Amino acid sequence: MLTFLSLFLAFAQISVGGPTQVQDPAYPVRIRILERNASRGGFGVRMWGRADIVAPQQQGFDYESDCSEVFMVSHGEELYSARWKKQDQQLEMLVSRMGTGKSNKCVLKADLKPYIYEFENGGIVTRPLAK
């Protein structure tokens, strides 16, 4: 699978990015990407998956995006910086371009959930929002 993804990304000339090293104060929403799927279409790469808003509040959401960079899932305490482009509908997230110290903006269409997502026993489960 990894070889196929590597060949796919090389053929498509698509770069891979991750969270920025420093959280940008202009992007106060902190996001943890738990799951990311991708497929190539006629207009680029379509991505979808599950994520959590970690701050300023906790909230799970499903997303989809057509960004020019494939972004990685979060590991450990890695968080993406984001801000609402359309409140509760679209998030603009910063994705670091590897090896450059620069970042691109990526818009995620968000479907907010009344719970958060967490990893448990190798899978994703839901937990009620803290009150």
- The pLDDT tens digits for 69-102 are 889 999 888 999 999 999 999 999 999 887 777 8
List strand residue ranges (DSSP E) for 42-89, in order: 44-55, 59-65, 69-71, 80-86
Strands 102-112, 90-97: pairing is antiparallel
- pTM equals 0.83
The reported pLDDT for the residue numbered 89 is 97
Q: Cα–Cα distance between 120 and 123 in angstroms, integer?
A: 5
- Mean of per-residue pLDDT scores for the chain: 85
Burial of 94-129, coded b for 16+ CB within 10 Å and e otherwise, reads: bbbeeeeeebbebbbbbeeeeebbeeeeeeeeeeee
| pLDDT mean over 5-26 | 67
CA angle 65, 71, 72 (to 5 degrees): 130
Among 10-14, 47-51, 106-110, whose mean pLDDT is lowest?
A: 10-14
The reported pLDDT for the residue numbered 43 is 66
Higher pLDDT, 29 or 75: 29
The reported pLDDT for the residue numbered 40 is 78
Helix H or strand E encompassing 2: helix 2-12
Q: Is the dihedral of CA 110, 61, 23, 55 positive or negative?
A: positive
Quickly state the pLDDT bin for 24 (edges 50, 70, 90): confident
CA angle 39, 51, 86 (to 5 degrees): 90
Higher pLDDT, 84 or 120: 84
